[in-house]
Structure 1
Amino acid sequence: MKSQISLLAILLLSLSCQTEQKPEKTVTKYVEEPHSYAQPNDAVITHLDLDIKVDFESKTIAGVATYDIDTNDASEIILDSKYLDIEKVEANGNATTFSMGDFNEDLGQALKIAITEDTNKISVFYKTTSQTEAVQWLAPQQTLDKEQPFLFTQGQAILTRSWIPIQDSPQIRITYDATVKVPNNLMAVMSAENPKQKTEDGVYQFKMKQPIPPYLIALAVGDLEYKPISDRTGVYAEKSMVDKAQEEFSDMEKMVAAAEKLYGDYAWEQFDVIVLPPSFPFGGMENPRLTFATPTVIAGDKSLTSLVAHELAHSWSGNLVTNATWDDFWLNEGFTVYFENRIMEALYGKDRANMIALIGRQDLADEIENFKDAPEMTRLKLDLEGKNPDDGMNSIAYDKGFLFLRTLEEKVGRDKLDSFLKAYFSKNAFKTMTTEKFVDYLNLNLLEPNNIDFNVEEWIYEPGIPDNQVVIVSDKFEQTETVLNTFLDSKSIDASKTKDWTTDEWVHFIRNFPESISTEDLQRLDNAFDFTNASNSHIAMVWYEQAINHDYHGNDVDAKIEDFLTHVGRRWYVATLYKAFERNDKTEAALAIYKKARPNYHSVTANTIDDLLGFEAEEFE
């Protein structure tokens, strides 16, 4: 009997093994987030093969986006799409059905594609339209050399879906290949392995082998040249700009080396910068391997190159370890500002780093004042559901985030914080991070092992700035204030005291004019230092703001302000000046300029100024 039972048991075990179910397919568990229609826990993209043609005559990008996908036995996969013309969709090479969801002004539409449990590849045939927001098409006269047209894309935060149908969430990381066809007298470059010279046929091949979030997929097309700085750094720009850019950014290799010494090896092989036309809406965009930059940082004296240090720092904080949702944006930017500051200190000394930090602290104070009626927006961890994530991209994420880490450094010691951050980037490389996961990681790996009590919850989840904030001081700025006060008392300036000032000192000097300063004093200062004709864009911007604030009209400053706003598209700069017009009841003057300037702005900048001035775009057409 015992033998029969044993045989029966063996037989049953054998049958069990034969009929055993295949292990259930698992996918990464993604968090819920409000700014993408994708349901990645059901079906998620893993690799993009993009094949497109750029047509400057029709101002369209057209082609096919083919994705490798992982599914969890889902019957559909959902992509994000906005202002795209979807022509057809295939699954595993065969036609499949698709549908478009309701349109949302911020999010666009859900592109729902029918799949089966065997589907491992989908292809979307599409083209962009005249409403596509990520792409700016520039006529030759809008470029520096004024000979050839230009195109660039800007995907952050949720605009990639307007030039590629994609799962447009920062927590979804993919690799990509691309084939891009452009006019054969132009060059195409992407956030990928790039050419150094034009091809004869205008066809370019790209590969990004490290997984990146969709907002970092970027394309630029123009009459470009490349100049190396080192074996792994260099610059792209139009012909008349490329030598200036190479000289301005000549410290790039030193920056990469300084960054690696702080927080580990650079993971992207190449760090290049492309200087775009002036309509580019940001100072810089950290697209991996190829930072996109505004020409407003070309000052001729490297005085604005902290922007390059900032975008380089994103190679760790943002690109390597990425905010999982846009509510966690401070994890990208606060860390990057702190890292940028450390790079600048390593290369140029503590004085310069402190001045940069104090300029940021002034920006933070202004931002908190701007949000006095919405204090919840001054938290680091945001709740942006129902809002455009662009609403959270301000000084709170950048400068409060920096201040949190700088205060933490003061509490735990620089060596301990550096060790923590280096390990953080290494252990979480090519992953995404929520604020909650970071808090747990911080407690487990830094605070608890060192028996340190720190008000993390107050810093992250409460509005405003906690009382234990570190106070950063600068002897250089104190000297600047002394020169200003002496001038206000005596109406004269000893030029020898200002001849070696940096951009930060000049900005601090101008920003600290008292409300009671007279137009006569402004005229004296303008005559002495020619602020109205400043070639340094940051100095010009803060001076023009003071001119608007104080009704100063000397030295043809009104024409200079109009020219600045018409030709510069950097959102921070132009928004600062339009806010000054509005704050001083000069909206009509602002609108008169804006009607001329708006066609030169990327949609990122235009949308911001539209909202600021309270008018619909149609009113400017």
Structure 2
Amino acid sequence: MRIATVSLIALAAVLASCTAAKNGAAKAADDAPAVSQVLLTPDAKDIHSYANPAEARVTHVAIDLTTDFAAHTLSGSATLDVDAAPTAKQIVLDTRNLTVTAVTDAAGKPLPFTLGAVDPIHGAPLTVTLGPIDIKGARKIKIAYSTSPKADALQWLTPAQTAGKKLPYLFSQGEAILNRSWIPTQDSPGIRQTWEAKITVPEGLTAVMSGESKSALGQTAPHNMRTFSYVMDKPVAPYLIALAVGDLRFQATGPRTGIWTEPSMLEKSAKEFGELEKFVDAAESLYGPYRWGRYDLLVLPPSFPFGGMENPRLTFATPTAIAGDRSLVSLIAHELAHSWSGNLVTNATWNDFWLNEGFTSYFENRIMEKIYGPKRAAMEADLSWSDMQAAIKEAGGPASKDTQLRLDIPLNRSPDDGMTQIAYDKGATFLRTIEAAVGRAKWDAYLRAYFDRHAFQPQTTAGFLKDLRENLIKGDKALEAKIGIDQWAYQPGIPANAVHVTSDAFPAIDAAAKAFAAGGPVAAVPGNVTTQETMRFITQLPRTLPAERIKALDDRFAWSDTGNSEIRFVWLQLVLPNRYARGEKSAEQFLLAQGRRKFVAPLFTTLMGDGAHGQALAKRIYAEARAGYHPVTSGTVDKIVGWKTTQ
């Protein structure tokens, strides 16, 4: 395939430049664009992008787009600033299902371009012949284009699919490699870019983005339209450029925090996430200043495929995190933590995804401990340990290469395949194990300095381990052997020295689950407990239970009807294989009401594993639900239920 050829050529070029540098070829280094040294290492080559940043790279993106809710398209232009070697003749960009009508230089002169063969995972390379260097020493290219109605990053919602039921809605989700379906740029996490945007939308709608607003109310545009402007002056990974358009309102929760959402959702969202300012203060006290200005939260419609997305200045969040008692706000602690681990220091490629999520999961737990105390943090860490064990089993066992932290995702697999709980929970456990070996004070000082040293830069696993050796281990061979950092990073499974944080609250819950499973009365099951204790109780029950025992629990606790999505999810995972009728009705309602992949994909997997009965139910529900899911979710569930796109 074309992608393999282009990627191998690019990889060869990077390796060649590294070899030349080793041999002292100073001229070659002088001719290269000013790319981070991390990107010149072999393990930083991103085979899931067509780009060759050692030859030419995008440094700034300026988009000017108009929304068409009838056609489900964005159309307009993207103007790219390019840093290229003087001898560079072309730049290669990433696209997916874009219609490109023209490419010009800064003076408006047409530039030759070609769209290469389409790869089902990576889209098509857009190769542009570069024009002359402008007076600022850079090169600009302007691309006129429109998106496809089936752009993978975008979901267009009808008024009926929104909370207000009156106006349409649009939102983007770019991670991992989906933003190339609405922005023609170099869509690799290591190629950081500043950006600006003008988004023109119908009167009555508001556009919000992951940058600083330059037009809070928008500016009048022709044909009953308004234009909203945003700027991000700090270099970010391209997947962090995010957009939402809808009937949106704002409520402040502090001097630098607040909530965006639909009007009918605003009061309960602001109440649930009212401690945003406290979260930012707690995070800063641990690992240094928050560098993005504001930290706002956009509560999206329930079709949003993730729990949250850490877009700078504006975290996108699922309404399934609203439980009414702030019991699920660790999700917000997680997305905020990404402001350091992920947004500030970013994985150079998707093979190093754990550098984002493992660090962030560790940091999330520290924020929760600081705000809500050690007991709450310990319960959540203990649940994550169980999630890690389940993820290892799902990956094929501790010998599976998919349980490594540093992955090797081949061309024929989507980077999305590496986004499993392994990265989150094994990564956090690794950092927790380092903390135990060196002491919390020393570890915190190291992490704070690490974020400062590598701020606004990409990072690889090898780069992190090098930094760890130079600035924490410092030649202490006994300490390095005690931690076993290479085994943690490059080997499958969980090393024997893994630190397992256990909750003092869980032994009593485990005993209650054991007693109930042995026939004990439902009245003996603890009732006035936390969400985390309830989840623990349900997950500790045998996977096979008599119908009357399941009914007894449901009659008392009404878990089939609970608005707490995490409790409902683990409950449905228990009762569906037992063909509990009330649970099946609950699952149908749950799967039709929200599209969070964390819940949706496992539940469809459970149903499809329950013979003809479960499969028929799964396919019937999915046929109705699919149109309301974001492509991130439907792309996963299609494979689970055997859905054919021609259906």
**Which of the five TM-score ranges fits, normalised by the shorter chain?**
over 0.9
Distance (Å, rounded) in 2 between the aligned partners of 1:572 and 1:364: 14
Check if 1:112 corresponds to 2:151. no
Describe the superposition over 1:130-170 as per-residue Cα deviations: whole angstroms up to 9, x where unpaired: 22110000001111111110000000000000011110000
**Offset at 1:457?**
0.9
Q: Distance in 1 between matches of 2:29 and 2:447?
A: 41
The aligned residue for residue 95 of structure 2 is 81
Distance 2:230 2:115 in 1: 30
Deviations 1:62-104 (A, max 9, x none): 0000011111121111110001000100122211110011110
Cα offset for 1:483?
2.2
Aligned counterpart, 1:268: 292
Q: Conserved in 2, the CA contact under 8 Å of 1:50 and 1:177?
A: yes
Q: Does 1:584 align with 2:617?
A: no
State the match for 2:494 in structure 1.
465
Q: Which residue of 2 aligns with 1:6?
A: none
For 2:505, which of 476, 481, 489 is the aligned residue?
476
User: Are positions 1:27 and 2:34 aligned together?
Assistant: yes
Cα distance between partner residues in 1 of 2:521 and 2:217:
55
Name the residue aligned to 1:41: 54
Contact 2:391–2:421 under 8 Å retained in 1: yes
> Could you tell me the percent identity over the aligned residues?
44
Q: Give the superposition deviation at 1:324.
A: 0.3
What displacement does 1:426 show? 0.6
Shift of the alpha carbon at 1:471? 2.2
Picking from 364, 380, 395, the partner of 2:405 is 380
C-alpha contact 2:381 2:502 (8 A) present in aligned 1: no
Match of 2:223 in 1: none
- Unaligned stretches of 5+ in structure 1? 1-19
Where do 5+ consecutive residues of structure 2 fail to align? 1-26, 221-225
| Counterpart secondary structure, 1:265 | coil
| 8 Å CA contact retained: 2:543, 2:574 | no
- Find the aligned partners of 1:172 and 1:492 in 2 and give their Cα distance: 59
Say whether residues 1:64 and 2:77 are aligned partners: yes
Q: Alignment partner of 1:52: what SS?
A: strand
Q: Is the 8 A contact 2:59 2:81 kept in 1?
A: yes
AA at the equivalent of 2:599: Y
**Offset, 1:589:** 1.5
**AA in 2 matched with 1:164:** I
Q: Which residue of 2 aligns with 1:14?
A: none
Measured in 2, the distance between the counterparts of 1:404 and 1:506 equals: 27
**Equivalent residues of 2:32, 2:55 under 8 A apart:** no
Q: TM-score, normalization: structure 1? A: 0.93
2:545 maps to 1:526: no
Per the alignment, do residues 51 and 200 of structure 1 end up closer, same or farther by CA in structure 2, a change over 3 Å counting? Answer: closer
Deviations, residues 211-235 of structure 1 (Å, cap 9, x unaligned)? 1010000000000000000110000
The C-alpha deviation readout for 1:108-140, integer Å capped at 9, x for no partner, is 000000114526100000000122110000001
| CA deviation profile, 1:563-621 (whole Å, cap 9, x unmatched) | 111121000000121111123222222111111110000000000011122332223xx
Residues 169 and 25 of structure 1: is their aligned pair in 2 closer, same or farther, counting only changes over 3 Å? Answer: closer
Q: 1:95 to 1:502 in 2, by over 3 A?
A: same
Aligned to 1:155: 174
Residue 316 of structure 1 pairs with residue 344 of structure 2: no
Amino acid at match of 1:479: A
CA contact (8 A) 1:197 1:226 kept: no
Aligned equivalent of 2:164: 145
Cα pair 1:134 1:155 within 8 Å, conserved? yes
* Higher Rg: 1
Mapped to 1, the partners of 2:526 and 2:180 lie a distance apart of: 52
2:255 — aligned with what? Answer: 231
- Counterpart Cα distance in 2 of 1:198 and 1:575: 38
Shift of 1:243: 1.0
> Cα distance, 1:488 vs. partner?
3.4
| Equivalent position SS for 2:560 | helix
> Given the alignment, which residue of 266, 288, 302 partners 1:278?
302
Match of 2:443 among 394, 401, 417: 417
Which amino acid in the other structure matches residue 75 of structure 2? Answer: A
SS at match of 2:150: coil
Of 431, 444, 448, which residue of structure 2 is paired with 1:405? Answer: 431
Q: Which amino acid aligns with 1:35?
A: H
| Secondary structure at 1:533 match in 2 | coil
Question: Would the aligned equivalents of 1:135 and 1:152 in 2 still touch at CA under 8 Å?
Answer: yes
Letter in 2 for 1:79: L
Residue by residue, what CA displacement relative to the aligned partner does 1:539-574 show, whole Å, maximum 9, x if unpaired? 111111111122212xx3322211111121000000
Change in 2 beyond 3 A, CA 1:217/1:370: same
In the TM superposition, residue 194 of structure 1 has moved relative to its aligned partner by 3.0
Secondary structure of the 1:94 match is coil
- Structure 2 residue aligned with 1:165, among 161, 167, 184? 184
Give the distance between the partners of 1:194 and 1:536, measured in 2 at CA: 34
Deviations 1:417-442 (A, max 9, x none): 10110000011000000111111111
Distance 1:61 1:344, change over 3 A: same
Paired residue for 1:508?
A: 536
Does the CA contact (< 8 Å) of 2:206 and 2:248 recur in 1? yes
In the other structure, the counterpart of 1:602 is 630
Tell me how far 1:192 sits from its aligned partner: 0.3
Distance 1:476 1:195, change over 3 A: farther
Secondary structure of 2:498's counterpart equals coil
- Deviation (angstroms), 1:197: 5.3
Q: In the TM superposition, what whole-angstrom CA distance separates every residue of 1:219-266 from its partner, at most 9, and x where no partner exists?
A: 000000000001100000000101111110111111100100000000
* Alpha-carbon separation, structure 2, partners of 1:116 and 1:457: 46
Tell me, yes or no, if structure 1 residue 183 matches structure 2 residue 202: yes
Q: Taking structure 2 as the reference length, what is the TM-score of the superposition?
A: 0.90
Is contact 1:491–1:521 with CA below 8 Å preserved after alignment?
Answer: no
User: What is residue 325 of structure 1 aligned with on the other side?
Assistant: 349
CA distance in 1, matches of 2:547, 2:45: 54
Q: CA deviation at 1:22?
A: 13
Query: Pick from 207, 211, 223: which aligns with 2:235?
Result: 211
Q: What is the number of equivalent residue pairs in this alignment?
A: 597
Asked if the contact 2:218–2:229 (Cα under 8 Å) also holds between the matched residues in 1, the reply is no
Runs of 4+ in 1 over 6 A off after TM superposition: 20-23
Q: What SS does the corresponding residue of 1:617 show, helix, strand or coil?
A: coil
The alignment partner of 1:158 has SS state of coil
Say whether the 8 Å CA contact 1:368–1:464 is kept in structure 2. yes
SS at match of 2:202: coil
Contact 2:354 2:405 survives alignment (8 Å): yes
Residue 212 of structure 2 aligns to a residue in which SS?
coil
Cα deviation for residue 410 of structure 1 reads: 1.0
Distance 1:381 1:21, change over 3 A: closer
- CA distance in 2 between partners of 1:24 and 1:473 (Å): 55
1:539 is aligned to: 567
Residue 409 of structure 1 aligns with an amino acid whose one-letter code is E
Are the counterparts in 2 of residues 286 and 311 from structure 1 also a CA contact under 8 Å?
A: yes
Give the residue type in structure 2 aligned to 1:136: Q
What's the CA shift string for 1:339-397, capped at 9, x where partnerless?
00000000111111111112111111111111117701100000012110000001110
Which residue identity is paired with 2:115? M
Matched position secondary structure for 2:542: coil
Taking the aligned partners of 2:29 and 2:154, their CA distance within structure 1 comes to: 45
Displacement after TM superposition at 1:191 (Å):
0.4
The corresponding residue for 2:153 is: 134
1:97 partner amino acid: P
- Conserved in 2, the CA contact under 8 Å of 1:197 and 1:225? no
